Structure 1
Amino acid sequence: MIRVIHPVAGAVALFTILIFWVSTVISELFGSEAAVIAVKTSVPWGFFLLVPALAAAGGSGFALAGGRPAGLVAAKARRMPIIAANGILILIPAALYLAHKAGQAEFDGMFYAVQVLELAAGATNIALLGLNMRDGLKMKGRPRCRSG
């Protein structure tokens, strides 16, 4: 069962963060103020899906890794503290701050500074979770996508 939970939870976490990130970029670049408010005030509600998914992915990954991870498992394990710290120290506080500011329609310099920080931290987590997914697929022996 744990071999099913791990990839599903990891994929849910990755795609949830990706949805947050893409929604933010699209609303900021092409949306109205109301769209930005809707996206920024909705993101914290997504934590009810994201946090358990990350916990399940991390916990199941730890259990699957066993004692002393090596190779791709070790690489995945080294990324997880960065992903967690980034989320706890930057992404969650930034999302809550931006939701509050957006709810008040306060789109000032600080809003946009925190928005840039959140997008950078989110892109970092997307990249790291993507690398973990890639390594997990390699470990399963899944074929690589080939162009052309």
Structure 2
Amino acid sequence: MILIIHRFTAPIAILCIALFFSATIFVELYGSAESIATVKSLIVWPGLFILVPAIALTGGSGFALAKSRKGKLVQQKKKRMPFVGANGILVLIPCAILLDLWASAGVFDAYFYVVQAIELLAGAINLILMGMNMIDGFRMNGRFR
């Protein structure tokens, strides 16, 4: 059951972050102020209410699965997950909420774009780390060599 939870929630978490990242870039390049505000609002609700449980369930199920396993790949995955969680809790969630508040108020100043850049960088880092964990998981299961 834990493996099923892990295999279900991990792709949801990765897809959420990838969707938030790509939607942000797309709307910043091609959207209006109203569309930017809409995307920022959707990232917070319902986005974070999908992403946060998905990451929590992925991390929890991953640690539960790792208890019975040993090896270099397991250790690498264990080392990455605290960074993913901390990055999400300390950077991504506050940035998303702050950007939503500013965008809904029509405040698109230098602070908005600095926080936006921080959010995009943190999102890219999480995507890379989660992708590395996914690849290592596939290697552990024999899907990749």
Q: Note whether the superposition's TM-score is higher than 0.5.
A: yes
Count of residues paired in the alignment = 144
Q: Deviations over 1:37-92 (max 9, x none)?
A: 11111111111111111111111111111167431111111000100111111110
Distance 1:68 1:9 in 2: 20
Paired position in structure 2 for 1:135? 136
1:77-116 map, 5 Å: 77-116=78-117
Identical-pair percentage: 49
Paired position in structure 2 for 1:15? 15
Paired position in structure 1 for 2:71? 70
Paired position in structure 1 for 2:55? 54
When the two chains are superposed, the root-mean-square deviation of aligned CA atoms in Å is: 1.3
Most deviating of 31-40 and 92-101 = 31-40
- Normalized against structure 1, the TM-score is what? 0.93
Partner amino acid, structure 2, of 1:35: S
What are the ranges of 5 or more consecutive residues in structure 1 without an aligned counterpart? Answer: none
- Normalized against structure 2, the TM-score is what? 0.95
Distance 1:118 1:143 in 2: 31
Distance 1:108 1:115 in 2: 11
Q: Deviations over 1:92-124 (max 9, x none)?
A: 000000000000010011000100000000000
Paired position in structure 1 for 2:41? 41
Which secondary structure does the structure 1 equivalent of 2:106 belong to? Answer: coil
Which secondary structure does the structure 2 equivalent of 1:23 belong to? Answer: helix
Partner amino acid, structure 2, of 1:55: A
Distance 2:53 2:108 in 1: 31
TM-aligned CA distance change 1:115 to 1:47, over 3 Å: same
Q: Deviations over 1:21-52 (max 9, x none)?
A: 00000000111212111111111111111111
TM-aligned CA distance change 1:67 to 1:3, over 3 Å: closer
- Give the conservation status (yes or no) of the 8 Å contact 2:135–2:144: no
Partner amino acid, structure 1, of 2:44: P
Distance 2:31 2:67 in 1: 47
Paired position in structure 2 for 1:32? 32
